[in-house]
Structure 1
Amino acid sequence: MIFPVDRITFHHNIIVILISLDTNGFRRQCKLAHNSPKRIIDDYKDKSTPAIVSLAAGGIAGGVEGFLSYPLEFAKTRVQLRAEKGVPTPRNPFLVVTQVYQNEGIKALYKGCGALVFGSVGKDAVRFLFFDQIKLSFADPETGTLSPLRNLLAGMTAGVVASITAVTPTERIKTALIDDARNEKRFRSGFHATATIWKEHGILGLYRGFAGTTLKQASATAFRMGTYNILKDFEKTKNIEQNTAVNFANGSVAGVVTTLSTQPFDVIKTRSQSARGTSTAEAVKSVLLDYGIKGFWKGTTMRLGRTVFSGGILFTSYEAAVKLILPLYPGTKQAEVS
């Protein structure tokens, strides 16, 4: 049956009018049809930070954070190492920094800094790279977002990888240099310390304290990266603008949560990686014998002073680095900082 053109147009207009009567329902159905789980995940991947950008920005952020906050890291590590008998240990990190500066000079405050900064570049490059990529695998298939638990799991996985590839050897060298500076003074530099430890103990010497370091890295990265992204996701739902001040505040909060949650692992790691070196089990035993259960939180105040500061610097630097690097990467004009 053939309809005149004017009748087809008339019926077509009637259909459009009927559909328009339920505009909300029509749009809702279109949205459901459009946003299939696969399409949501694909869109999420398109908006995520490219791997090479995560790697470069993470390395830059790690180097900046490591250098600026090193004196506080030095103070924290020195307090955690066995102090001379009968000599009280200050709890104020700034007092320790002042005393070291007055008695040993500015160079002493940056003893082992090269090893830490070098390690921080590698550590945070790996952390951000794997965290940003792991988020894609952990994303909810229905929404394309991460729950708080999945954020923590992504951070934990990134922490383990970072410990294996970069953190344990550089932390071992840094701790040995700081410990050596107040005792025998065997090591002339980070490279000399690396060569000496390798010669005397082999590669296992560089990975002494691996268990404690990995436990610390897994938990610290889980809480630090997880907390930061949980805060960031929450702020997006409230339409809070992501600027430098907000990024710094989020990073600082993440630093507090991380420190209080992981301090025992940090104490064990530091004790096991001293210049003379002990196993993780021996480190746990020595802390209990020296200070009791409270000893596992020794240096918390000092570490808080650093992590609040360093957390803000790290994430602010990372977000800024991504914004600078992203336009240089082909095909990422529409990408967002993840």
Structure 2
Amino acid sequence: MYEIFRPIKSTNMTDRQPSLWNLLSPTANVSSLPTTTPLSCQTTLVPNRRVGALAAGKNQPKNPVKAVLAGGIAGGIEICITFPTEYVKTQLQLAESVKPPKYTGIVDCVGQTVKSHGVLGLYRGLSSLVYGSIPKAAVRFGMFEFLSNKVRDENGKLTSTNGLLCGLGAGLAEAIFVVCPMETVKVKFIHDQTGPNPRYKGFFRGVVQIVKEQGLRGTYQGLTATMLKQGSNQAIRFYVMTTLRNWYRGDDPGKEVGLLMTGCFGAIAGAASVFGNTPLDVVKTRMQGLEAHRYKNTWDCAKQIWQKEGVMAFYKGTIPRLGRVCADVAIVFMIYEQTVKFLNKIWPEKT
């Protein structure tokens, strides 16, 4: 587990074996040992890469499979808590600039929805996100841990830049494999409710109907915008989380970040991602709505929004998204850390 009596600056590969072996060896060279201090005081514990990585976070999973399990559990719980804010955000982003506007704001959107469909109307499209959030968070954290394990230093520390790059890779992976089809179905379900006669009667029937009418391509609308959004999302979030954790730990890489502090850091990371990429989220939402056929591609969608609605249209739904994402990221990281802590107890990391 530890390398004992190893000269810190040695570059000789044989010195990577415990020095006790070197001393017992017939060819041992003891002249290189310091003579100014007793041998017992020369003990230097240098963690290897594996142990150091674990020390960098007591709850940190080094097995990507464990990260996948913890991420899936965290994602499922989080979306059930925060979905109403996602619903309102999507409705406001889908509403084009007309006079009089369909919704005057967040409160009006909630009021009209509850009046027309009851409180459960705020959960329209939840099933698509529940089915998708579990694999989404699983892919995100699994890929992040897989990539970060490759770039941590000998003490297990992840730099802010590497955190950003690993987050980017995690975001692109979840966009391609989970988020794009999940978000497309979700947006279509929410948009469908705005019509006088909703066509989708349940998650599975709705998906079958979408695929039947538009093919599998119908569940991959806005892929480019989704990749840009998710890639930048996770790059920003993991960059901020990594930076804040490194700042909090200071010179002690083994210092554990508490649950409350993890939640605060997650909320800050979520807010940073909202202000950083809401325009991409608006374009993605339009490309996945029922009126997506009006746009030639992602860039044409952005151009039309700019020309017809102005720059502020790119920030529609920012406030409800801010509340949803801050809670989302905080809750996910908190649940993720606690789940990993539990898994580490029943499934200890090998050292």
TM-score where L is the length of structure 1: 0.83
Alignment CA distance shift 1:92-1:323 (3 Å): farther
1:113 pairs, out of 110, 126, 130, with 126
Name the CA distance, whole Å, in 2 between partners of 1:42 and 1:201: 51
- Confirm or deny: 8 A CA contact 1:62 1:314 kept in the other structure: yes
Partner of 2:242: 229
- Structure 1 residues 218-267: Cα deviation after superposition (integer angstroms, max 9, x where no partner): 00011112212221222122767522211111110011001011111101
Q: Which residue of 2 aligns with 1:161?
A: 173
In structure 2, how many angstroms separate the alpha carbons of the residues matched to 1:174 and 1:106? 18
For residue 159 of structure 2, what is the aligned residue in structure 1? 147
Tell me by how many angstroms 1:282 deviates. 3.2
Query: Aligned Cα RMSD in Å?
Result: 2.7
Q: 1:201: how far off? A: 1.8
Give unpaired runs (5+ residues) of structure 1.
1-11
Q: Which residue of 1 aligns with 2:18?
A: none
Query: 1:89: how far off?
Result: 5.6
Amino acid at match of 2:179: V
Match of 1:273 in 2: 288
Structure 2 CA distance, aligned partners of 1:103 and 1:265?
30
Please say which of residues 65-74 and 301-310 is displaced more in the overlay: 301-310
The farther-off stretch of 115-124 and 300-309 is 300-309
Output the amino acid matched with 1:147.
Answer: T
Give the CA deviation at 1:192: 2.0
**Counterpart position of 1:252:** 267
In structure 2, the partner of 1:297 is 315
Contact 1:172 1:208 in 2 (8 A): yes
Q: What do the CA deviations read for 1:42-82 (whole angstroms, capped 9, x no partner)?
A: 64279751222211110111111111100000000000003
Say if 2:52 and 2:155, in contact at 8 Å, map to a contact too: no
Give the match for residue 102 of structure 1. 115
Is 1:69–2:82 an aligned residue pair?
Answer: yes
Structure 2 residue matching 1:242: 3-state secondary structure? coil
| Counterpart residue number, 1:4 | none
Alignment of 1:117-266 (within 5 A): 117-140=130-153, 142-183=154-195, 184-237=197-250, 242-266=257-281
Structure 2 vs 1, CA of residues 70 and 164 (structure 1 numbering), >3 Å: closer, same or farther? same
Query: Aligned equivalents of 1:89 and 1:277: distance in 2?
Result: 19
Which is richer in helix? 1
Structure 1 residue 290 displacement after superposition? 2.9
* Change in CA separation of 1:269 and 1:107 when aligned onto 2, cut-off 3 Å: same
Counterparts in 2 of 1:114 and 1:288: CA distance versus 1, 3 Å: same
After superposition, what is the alpha-carbon deviation per residue over 1:109-151, rounded to whole angstroms, capped at 9, x for unaligned?
A: 11100101211111101000110111011223x5432211110
Could you report, residue by residue, the CA deviation over 1:92-125 in whole angstroms, capped at 9, with x for unpaired residues? 5455324422332122111100101211111101
Q: Give me the whole-angstrom Cα distance separating, in 2, the residues matched to 1:227 and 1:185.
A: 41
CA contact (8 A) 1:92 1:301 kept: no
* Number of residue-to-residue matches in the alignment: 310
For each residue in 1:198-230, what CA deviation from the matched residue of structure 2 results, as whole angstroms up to 9, or x when unmatched? 112211111110000010000001111221222
SS of 2:99 mapped into structure 1: coil
Name the CA distance, whole Å, in 2 between partners of 1:304 and 1:218. Answer: 18
Q: Tell me which amino acid in the other structure corresponds to 1:85.
A: V
8 Å CA contact retained: 1:76, 1:302:
yes
Aligned partner of 2:242: which letter?
N
For structure 2, the residue ranges without an aligned partner over 5 or more in a row are 1-29
Cα offset, 1:91, TM superposition:
6.9
Match of 1:310 among 325, 328, 343: 328
The farther-off stretch of 88-97 and 227-236 is: 88-97
What is the DSSP-based 3-state SS (H/G/I as helix, E as strand, rest coil) of the residue aligned with 1:19?
coil
